[in-house]
Structures are given as C-alpha cells and as structure tokens.
Copies of this chain bind each other. A is one copy, B any other.
C-alpha cells in the first residue's frame, strides 16, 4: 500500500469547527422558488408559516441573502460532542480497486443517531426550546432522522413524536426502540390517529407508507397540539443550511492538506446531506472561483432528479403542506415495496432542484443490487458497514474510480458517507440470500404521478 503524506483520517481540532453555517442561497443567481400557499398560489411569508414551524427556523427558511448565519453557542457545544467528523482517505478501497483515483469520504455515522441528521436535529430542537415550546412532531423514513431528533430532544428536554413510515417501522423494530430509549413516541404511518392518515388508508388500504404520508400526519399532529411545532429532516432550505457544517468541515480538512477535489458525490433523498456537503464548493463555483463536478446519486426506484418533473408540488401526500418548486415524482408516489434503503422521498430540495435545473450539478440513478454490491465491497475494505442510503454515493464513487482505472487519470473524488447500516441488516440479508430485486418504475407509472401534479392558481 502506498501512503502519501496524508493521514487516513483528517481531524480538525475543536477550534477549527465552523462558527457559522453557510447559506448557499446567498450566492445563487437564481434563487430557489418560494413556498406557495396551495389555495391562493401566493408565496408564503413568515406569518403564514408560524402555525407549523418555529419562528427562527422560518427566518432561516426565508433568508436567501445572508451568506453566514452564526451557529448559536449551545449548538456549537452540542456539535463538539460528536464533531468534527473525520474525513477519511480510502487507501484500502483504492488498493482493492487498483485505481489511481484518490478517494476521500466524509464520515457522518460516528454518532449514536448513526447519520448526519443530528446536525439539523439539534438545531431545530434548540430553536423550538428557545421559543418555549413543549415539543415537536416529525416523520421518519428509514429511521435516521427520527433517531437524531429523539436524541436532540432528550438532550434538551423536549417531547418528541415520530410518525415512522410503516414499512420501516415493521422492518426495523430496533430502530424504533432506539427512539424510545431517547424518550420519543413512535407511530407507524399511515395511522388512524390523524385525518390525513385515515384518508390515505381509506384510499390505499394496504399501503406500506411513504415519507409524504408521514409528513402529512406529523404536520396535522403539530397543528393540533398546543405548544408543538413540526420539524423536517430534509428538503427545506433551513435543513440544508444546518447541514452545511458537513461541507465546511470537509473543505477545511482538504484545505489543510492542499487537496482540491475534482468530483464531489452525495446520495440524494430529500437532499440535505448532499446540499450540506457541496455547499462551500458550490459556493466557489457560483462565485466563479473554482469548478467542480458535483454528482447527486438517487435510487432507480425513486428517481426524482433523473426522471422527475421540475414543478410546483405538495411536500406531502395528504396535501396539507405548502407547495414547493422542485424535481418531483408527484406527491402520491410511493416506491415499490421491494425498495430496501431510504431516499424514498417523492421530491427534492428546492435549492438543489434549482441548481440542477441551472446545469450546476449532475445526477445519476443506481439500482439497489448494485448499491449493496458496493456496500459490501466497501465494508470489507474500509471496515465501516454503510447505510444503504450512503451506499448510493459509494456506488457512484466506485464507478468514477473505476473509470479512472481505465483512463489512468488520478482524479480526487470526495463522497459523503452519511451513516452506518446497523439497523439495515434485513436489507443486507435480502441481498445475501439473493432475494433482492431491482424495480424500476415504468414511464407510464411516473406519468400517472405527473398527471396529478397540482394546478397552481395564477401559474397555470
């Protein structure tokens, strides 16, 4: 094995941790489109959103101009408990592949929540607490976000109510139990607890749920509970803002060793990890300072970027949320039940959607058996058992590294390893036993979703 003058893991000191989040929107020439009121088609302002979101988070959501937003000291203190996360040089993986490419990954799975989600969970819980609220509600898909939020709420003494996509609730009983260890209440979604849930169940009695359904239920529950607000683990501008800590640390660590990446890769469900990882790099690109290839990787079974429409759509299945302009498969889209990993949201962050639309980044979709092949190869080489979500990024990084092997190019590839797969062993078992299949939705199926895209008053 050849070692350069670069350690396996680049750690920043606590002093080098970011003191402010970076708001990518400040540098975007075309800003992400505003959230719209589905009834009137009017952009939603601070007052319109107050019933659902915490005040300070609405301010962050709507702020397209401030580039640096200071991280409150209390959140910095919490970050210091598990950050900086290491930036790892994948020497073993490079050797196994026999590639001249230099591969780095930013590993966000080293905290108990097992993923990057904690970066935004603590911020959202902090602002809820500061506003004097009693608790928050949320949805969770594979369970990473719910776990992270439960931890943050336990730390701050907030109530936490999680609507968990039913298929995950059943496939991941231990994930559920972790959330309960941190004191959260967990309900499989769709449930009979909310009007949205009852309506969805009446329409599709056997449904295994979707993030869109769970969001409808969580929003309804928040609105119905005094002293309670709704928080979301991805998609929103505020979440990407908090996740910028990933990219800021990555850039600082690379700068420390004079490394400049050629390609930056992240998996994309709602887009929070990718948006956070690429933020400072995309900022340089937007300001014309430097160019990078930036690649979003999504499941072939839930291909919002690569096969979706860039249009206004509901953020949720129950159609109780605002409309967001994004790449979407339609708010009624539910990935096939054989889809084992996360990344199952029907839409995509409006910020990333706009950047993709403007040609500033690329997107690829990958089938899940290829994703698990990459996961296993990575686990055996690098010793980290990756989450299926993260393994989408691994797959794309391997593909790029193998291209370098063919061409002999020594490209530097950085990818986001968002989390660990400890709670995903059912999916791994399916892969090992050969029972995993690859379902790719047909054009007709996708068209059915597009046909139901909402008509926006004043826009149509």
Identify the A interface with B (CB < 8 A). Answer: 1, 7-9, 11, 13-14, 77, 80-82, 92, 110-114, 118, 151, 154-155, 173-174, 177-178, 180-183, 376, 379-385, 420, 422-423, 425-426, 428-429, 432
Contact = CB atoms under 8 A, between A and B. Distances in A.
A241 B376 CA distance: 31
Contacts of A82: 383
Contacts of A14: 7-9
A425 B383 contact: no
Given A8-B81, A112-B384, A425 B183 contact: no
B112 A428 contact: no
Contacts of A426: 174
Nearest to A429: B177
Nearest to A147: B385
A77 B92 CA distance: 10
A432 B181 contact: yes
A1 to B, nearest CB: 7
A186 to B, nearest CB: 12
Contacts of A151: 383
Given A8-B80, A181-B385, 12 more contacts: A8-B14, A9-B80, A11-B11, A111-B384, A112-B385, A154-B379, A155-B383, A174-B425, A181-B379, A181-B428, A181-B432, A422-B423
A22 B99 CA distance: 38
Nearest to A372: B181
Give 9 nearest A-B pairs by CB, closest first.
A174-B425, A422-B422, A177-B425, A154-B380, A112-B385, A8-B80, A7-B14, A177-B429, A112-B384
A80 B88 CA distance: 10
A53 to B, nearest CB: 25
Contacts of A110: 110
Contacts of A1: 77
Residue of A11, A113, A173 with highest tally of chain B CB at under 10 A: A11
A6 B305 CA distance: 45
A385 B178 contact: yes
B425 A380 contact: no
Nearest to A422: B422
A181 B384 CA distance: 11
A361 B183 CA distance: 37
B112 A379 contact: yes
Nearest to A382: B81
A155 B7 contact: no
Contacts of A379: 112, 154, 181-182
8 contacts: A81-B382, A82-B383, A155-B383, A174-B422, A174-B425, A178-B422, A178-B425, A181-B385
Given A92-B81, A112-B385, A422-B423, A380 B13 contact: no
A428 B177 contact: yes
Nearest to A151: B383
Nearest to A118: B383
B380 A182 contact: yes
A295 B112 CA distance: 27
Nearest to A380: B154
Given A77-B1, A155-B383, A384-B112, A432 B180 contact: yes
A80 B92 CA distance: 11
Nearest to A385: B112
Nearest to A176: B425
A429 B111 CA distance: 21
Contacts of A8: 14, 80-81
A151 B382 CA distance: 10
Nearest to A432: B180
A139 B428 CA distance: 23
Given A8-B14, A81-B383, A174-B174, A376 B181 contact: yes
